[in-house]
Chain A
Amino acid sequence: MNKVYLLFAVAGVLLGQQSWAAEVTKKPSSCVENLNQEITPQMKRARDLYIALTGSPIPFCDERIERMTIYLAAGRARDAVRVAIADPDFYNIKIREMASRICTFENSPRTSVNDCIATYVGAIRDGIDARQLLTGNFWYRIDEKKAPQATASNLVNNILKNGNHYNQIDDLELSMFHVLKRVDGQMIIDPTNNNNAIAAQDPAGVITSRAWMMAHAIAGTNRRLVEKSFEQFLCSPIREWADNTMPDTYVGRDVTRTPGDDPNKYLVTCKGCHAPMDSMRSVFAHVDWNENNGGFYRYNPTQVTPKMNRNTNETPQLTYLISGDTFDNYATQGANAARFGWRGPTQGEGMKAFAGMLANSEQYNRCLTTHVFRTVCGRKPEAELKQIIDTYARDFDQKDNHDVRVLFERIALRPECTGDGNQ
C-alpha cells in the first residue's frame, strides 16, 4: 500500500511539474462581474493597488481582487499587496519597466528585453540583495527546459554577440517570471578569439552586462560609463555633482585647458565635471565595445583601450596617461559627501570595486527607492516627499535586507502614491 501511495505521489509531482513547465504565459481573467454586488471601497482600493503593481486591469470578480479585498478589510494591507507582487505581471510589466529605464541609453521603457533587464527581473524575483545587482557575478537567461521553443540559446552567437536570445521573450510572448534562470559566473568574448567565450575577469553585475556596455561603451572615451553609472544607479546627473574645487589631476589630456583660448572657462566650467568624472574613468581602462559581428563587449586586462588616452596633443605640456584600472573618487568633498553618503573605500581597482563603492552608498538606496516610486506611482516623487524616500531607503538598507519587493509593498500603499495625495 505504501508503494502505491509513493507511486501516486511521484506521479503527482511529475504531472505538476509538467503543467507548471508548460505555463509560461499568463492567462487573463475570465470571471463574470456580478452587477448586483456593490463595489465597496476595499474592492476599489484592492483593484487600484493591483493595477499599480502589475499594470494589468482585472475585474472585481477575479479571485486576486477578492483575496486582496479580504486582507484590506482585515487590516492586513501588506498581505494584500503581496498578492499583487506574487503575480507574474509584477515582474513582467513593472520590474521590466523600471529596469528598462536603468538599462538603456534612452532611459525609456520602449525597449526589447536584454540581459540587463532580465537580470533585474530575475534577481528581484529571487529576492536577491539589491547591491548584488551591481556587485554580483551572475546573470539571467531563458531556461530551455521551461521554454523549449526558445531555440536561440547559443552563448556566443545569441547572447554575447547580439540580443537574439532575449528578443525571444517578446517574440514568443514568454513570461520572464516563469522562464528566467540564474547562471553563476558572467561570461565575455575572449579578447584573443572572438568566437570563444571565457569567464569574466572583472564582473560587476549589470554594469558588465552586454546591454549596459552597448549603451555606454560605444565609441567616446568611456566617460559616459561613469556619468551614466552615477545617473542611473545614484540618480545623480553630472551637473549635480560637478565640483571645480577638486584638483584636475586625472582630467584627460584630450580636454583642452584653454577652450576658446580662455583658461578661465576650463577652470570654472569644464573642470567641474571632468575633475570628479575623470578621476573614475580609468575603472573602464580595459573596456571597449566592438561593433563587429553584431557587437560585443570587449575586455582585455593586458592592455589599456586606446580611446582612454586619445588626443593627447590637446595638452602636450602634460604627461598624465591612464595605465591601469585604478580609480580615486573625487566626488567626495563638500556637498557631494552628504549627497552620496559614501561608505567604505572610495579608491580601488577595477569595475567590481567601483560597483561596490556605488552599491554601498546611501544614495544607491535612495535612488532605488526613487525608481520604485516612479514605477508604481507613475511619476517622479515631488520634493515634498523627500522624507518618505529617505526613511524608506534607510529601512531598505538597515531592516529590509535590500529586498526591492519590500519597497514596492510600502510605496504602493502610500496615499501620496495610490491614494488621493492627502487632499
Chain B
Amino acid sequence: MKLKNKNKKVFKMLVAVVGASFTITAFQNCGGSNDGSNNAALDYVEQGETPVSPIKVEKTDKILHSRNVANALIQGLGVQNVSNVNNLDPIIQAAINSELLLSEHGDYDSITGGQITIHAGNLAEVACERMIFYSEAPKLSVVENEIKDERRFFKGLYIGENAASATPQVPVQDETKYRQAIQRLARSLWGRDTTKAEEDLVLSAASPILLDTKANRGFRAAVVTCTVMASTFDFLRQ
C-alpha cells in the first residue's frame, strides 16, 4: 500500500512537471511541436486548407498607378456626376494623359520621371475642384433661417465663390474648422489622423489665399487644401 501511494504521488508529480514544462515552453514558441503551430494559427484557414507560418520579409511599399489614381481620387473624395455635369471624365482623362508619368505597375521602380508629384498634383487639383464645386458647395443651405450643412469635409466653412455671402456661422476663415476639414480629408485620403505639424503645413498653404481680397478666396483655399493632401505620397502610397 505504501509503495502504491508512493507511485501515485510520483505519477502525479510527473504529470505536473510535464504539464508545467509544456505550458511554460509552449508560450515561448518552443513548445512541444516545432512546426510553429502557434504562428501558423495566424493564417486564416478554412475547410482543410494548409496554414503557413508568418515569414519575415523586407516589404516594399506599393503605390497607386496608371488610371487607378483617377478611381482612387473619385472614391476617396466622393466625386460624382451631378445632373448633367460630367465630373468623372475630366479626372479620368487627366489620368490617361499623365499615365506615362505615373507608376505603371504600382511599384516605385516603374516611375519614369521625377514629375510624378507634379502630375499627381494636377490630377488632385482637377478632382478637388469638381468635388468642392459640385459635391461640397451645394450641400450647404439655409432652410427657414437655419443652416443645413451636410458637407463631408469643409463643414462650417464658406467655400463658395462669393465671400460676401459668408456669415458668422459659416465664415470664410476659421482655424479650428479648417483644422477639422484637414482632419476629415486625412481620414479619407490618408487613412489616419494628422499631426499638428501636418495641419500647420497644410494651413500655411491655404492661409495666404484666405487673407487676400478676392471674392472666391474661400473656394480657392479649399481647393488648395484638398489638392495638397490628395497629391502626397500618403495618398498615393496605398
Contact = CB atoms under 8 A, between A and B. Distances in A.
B80 A27 contact: yes
A385 B48 contact: no
Interface in B172-226: 180, 183-184, 187-189, 191-193
A388 interface: yes
B68 A39 contact: no
Interface stretch (B15-23, B26-34, B55-63): B55-63
B74 interface: yes
A262 interface: no
B162 interface: no
Interface string A65-91: 000000000000110000000000100
Nearest to A111: B66
A58 B59 contact: no
Contact size class for B?
A: 35 or more
Given A55-B68, A57-B189, A110-B67, A378 B62 contact: yes
Contact size class for A?
A: 35 or more
A423 interface: yes
Interface stretch (B4-12, B101-109, B113-121): B101-109
Interface stretch (A9-17, A29-37, A266-274): A29-37
B49 interface: yes
Contacts of B151: 32
A173 B95 CA distance: 14
B155 to A, nearest CB: 8
> For chain A, what secondary structure do more than half of its interface residues adopt (helix, strand, loop), or is it mixed?
loop
Interface string B143-180: 00000001110010000000000000000000000001
Given A44-B191, A379-B62, A410-B44, A391 B104 contact: no
A414 B79 CA distance: 32
A109 B193 contact: no
B48 to A, nearest CB: 5
21 contacts: A28-B78, A32-B151, A33-B152, A39-B187, A47-B191, A55-B71, A55-B72, A57-B188, A57-B189, A59-B152, A60-B187, A379-B107, A382-B58, A384-B56, A385-B55, A388-B55, A391-B52, A400-B47, A400-B49, A414-B43, A423-B59
Given A173-B89, A379-B59, 10 more contacts: A39-B192, A57-B75, A59-B188, A378-B63, A385-B57, A400-B49, A413-B43, A421-B56, A421-B59, A423-B59
* 6 residue pairs, one from A and one from B, having the closest CB atoms: A378-B62, A421-B59, A56-B75, A57-B76, A59-B188, A77-B44
Interface of B: 42-50, 52, 54-68, 71-72, 74-80, 88-89, 92, 99, 104-107, 150-152, 155, 180, 183-184, 187-189, 191-193, 235, 238
